[in-house]
Amino acid sequence: MNEEKKRILEMVEAGLISASEGLTLLEALDKEPAQQARKERKDHFFDELVSFGQKLSGSWEKQSDQSTGSSSQPKDKLFQFVQSAVQKLKDFEFPLGKTVEFSHTFQENDFSPQRIKAETASGSFTIKPWQGSGVKAECYVKMYGADNEDEARESFIKNSVFYAREDKLSFSVGLKLMKVDTVLYVPEAAVKDISVKLFNGSFNMRDLDVQNLEVKTANGKIEIKGSKVGEFEGETGNGQIYFIDCEGRKVEASSFNGAVHVVGSVGYTEIKSFNGNVLCDLKSDAAHTVKAQAVTGNIEVYVPDHMAMKGILRTNLGSLQLPESGMKKVIEKEEMVQKLVRFESEKEALGQVVIEAETKTGSVSVKTTAFHENHNDKESEPPSIFEGE
């Protein structure tokens, strides 16, 4: 049976059959698995996922360094690593016996947190402002293997933490075999620190004022819109990162497999994607530094037309594009393995942006845009070239 499973996985890897077809074949082989084997599979899944999350922040630099010398082998290994992790996440969604669904609300009245820390294994996490005087977490739970709703709810409450003390709110779900989609309502007053760690789920936040925001997920999209964020750090293994119509001093965002978009008034921007396009659209003269890096994707940087800029663009296989006019100094260098452009604009202005952008197989373009002071009057969307990523 092991040889048959190996053959099915090789067919999926080679693209001969889809992942869903492979799951169907594997299910047929394991139609009557032993109870102990199923238990081991459940236990090992979470441990492997934790390991993946721990590798998330340390793997990027190592892969980037290796790709300079021999890009194909590290890239293939990374794609296999991400694909394997995502496949495990999909397996986790596969029905494991009886499923019970219910909702539960945690609430703490007359409490305004300055620090929020949240951790969940599976499920989305959303933060919204509200007019209430306290905090409230609405949880939509799907639990596997429970006999009835009362038993499932009791187990969920017993293994969850919703703890408010002094100025800190802690929220976590300790059970492995459940999916919990959470909507956290907090007062509109500014929050000092928010830290969210997810393994299989997306993060969403709108219209909040936060000094420091850290979000990490192994599989899921990260989206922040219409907010003021002093410093933002976001990482995802498989998913997009959107930082749209926001203000911030510093933004650092990286995705292994997904697009990364930063649109707004940001001072320092550092964005990376291994397999995905990168976009930085500066909306004010507060910007001073942009560092963008990709391996297989394109990079686009938009700068207000009244600002001065200088920098360096690199690519191995793609093209490099600058504004047609307004550049007083352009040095082009094309070697066998890399194209390079150093540039500086003609105009002298109080605001200047330093741009460093590099991609291996994609293209890099820098463009100027008309500056509008009231750019937040309506929600801006990424250019159509990035739609669907």
What's the CA gap between 240 and 218, in Å, rounded? 11
> Is the pLDDT higher at 151 or at 336?
151
Helices (H), the chain: 2-14, 19-29, 35-69, 72-93, 149-158
In a domain, 344, yes or no: no
Least confident of 95-99, 112-116, 364-368: 95-99
Do 27 and 106 belong together in one domain?
Answer: no
**For the chain, what is the domain count?**
2
Least confident of 135-144, 211-220, 258-267, 364-373: 364-373
Residue 79 has what pLDDT? Answer: 55
Strand partners, 207: none
Least confident of 95-104, 105-114, 211-220: 95-104
Residue 80 has what pLDDT? Answer: 57
Q: Average pLDDT, whole number, for the chain?
A: 81
Which among 114, 101, 105, 115 is positioned nearest to 138, based on CA atoms? Answer: 105
Helix, strand or coil, per DSSP, at residue 278? strand
Section 349-362 average pLDDT: 90
Which among 124, 98, 121, 93 is positioned nearest to 20, based on CA atoms? Answer: 93
Do 22 and 108 belong together in one domain?
Answer: no
Distances (CA, A) of 213 to 118, 217, 243, 266, 386: 12, 13, 12, 14, 25
Q: What pLDDT digit, counting tens, does each position of 198-239 carry?
A: 999 999 999 999 999 999 999 999 999 999 999 999 999 999
> Is the pLDDT higher at 37 or at 123?
123
Section 355-361 average pLDDT: 95
CA 342, chain centre distance (Å): 31
Residue 133 has what pLDDT? Answer: 83
% the chain with pLDDT above 70: 71
Q: Which two tokens stand for residue 94?
A: 């596969």
In a domain, 164, yes or no: yes
Strand partners, 290: 269, 355
Report whether pLDDT(100) > 50: yes
Residue 384 has what pLDDT? Answer: 35
Q: What pLDDT digit, counting tens, does each position of 182-194 carry?
A: 999 999 887 999 9
Section 89-99 average pLDDT: 57
In a domain, 134, yes or no: yes
CB neighbours of residue 167 within 10 Å: 14
**Residue 336 per-residue DSSP state:** S
Strand partners, 280: 262, 301
In a domain, 48, yes or no: no
Q: Is the dihedral of CA 204, 207, 208, 209 positive or negative?
A: positive
Least confident of 57-71, 89-103, 360-374: 57-71
Residue 187 has what pLDDT? Answer: 92
Question: Cβ distance 233 to 364 under 8 Å?
Answer: no
Of the residues 172, 189, 206, which one is the last residue of a structural domain? 189
Section 303-324 average pLDDT: 91
In a domain, 249, yes or no: no
Residue 388 has what pLDDT? Answer: 36
Section 82-100 average pLDDT: 59
Spell out the residues 6+ positions from residue 294 whose beta carbon is closer than 8 angstroms to its own: 272, 273, 274, 276, 277, 278, 358, 359, 360, 362
Question: Cβ distance 175 to 156 under 8 Å?
Answer: yes
Q: Residue with structure tokens 């309502």?
A: 185
In a domain, 146, yes or no: yes
Section 338-344 average pLDDT: 90
Question: Cβ distance 275 to 79 under 8 Å?
Answer: yes
Distances (CA, A) of 276 to 52, 260, 339, 357: 20, 7, 20, 14
Question: Cβ distance 176 to 195 under 8 Å?
Answer: no
What's the CA gap between 150 and 355, in Å, rounded? 57
Residue 29 has what pLDDT? Answer: 65
Question: Cβ distance 247 to 228 under 8 Å?
Answer: yes
Spell out the residues 6+ positions from residue 248 whose beta carbon is closer than 8 angstroms to its own: 228, 229, 230, 231, 232, 264, 265, 266, 267
Do 99 and 184 belong together in one domain?
Answer: yes
Report whether pLDDT(69) > 50: no
What's the CA gap between 199 and 301, in Å, rounded? 31
Q: Could you tell me the end-to-end alpha-carbon distance of the chain, in angstroms, rounded to an integer?
A: 38
> Is the pLDDT higher at 88 or at 196?
196
Of the residues 174, 189, 204, which one is the last residue of a structural domain? 189
In a domain, 128, yes or no: yes
Pairing state between β 178-187 and 203-206: unpaired
**In terms of pTM, does the model score above 0.85?**
no
Residue 248 has what pLDDT? Answer: 96
C-alpha angle with apex 258: 126 to 285, nearest 5 degrees?
80
Distances (CA, A) of 316 to 152, 273, 308: 54, 16, 27
Confidence grade of residue 382 (pLDDT, cut at 50, 70, 90): very low
Residue 291 has what pLDDT? Answer: 97
CA 159, chain centre distance (Å): 27
Q: Which two tokens stand for residue 334?
A: 């094309």
In a domain, 144, yes or no: yes
Section 357-383 average pLDDT: 70
Of the residues 159, 189, 219, which one is the last residue of a structural domain? 189
Report whether pLDDT(178) > 60: yes
% the chain with pLDDT above 90: 52
Section 102-125 average pLDDT: 94
Domain hosting residue 180, numbered range: 95-189
Residue 174 has what pLDDT? Answer: 77
Strand partners, 294: 273, 359
What's the CA gap between 340 and 345, in Å, rounded? 17
Residue 72 has what pLDDT? Answer: 46
Least confident of 19-28, 127-136, 177-186, 308-317: 19-28
Classify residue 304 as left (phi > 0), alpha (psi -120 to 50) or beta: beta
> Is the pLDDT higher at 204 or at 305?
204
Q: What pLDDT digit, counting tens, does each position of 134-154 carry?
A: 999 999 999 887 788 998 899
Residue 214 has what pLDDT? Answer: 97
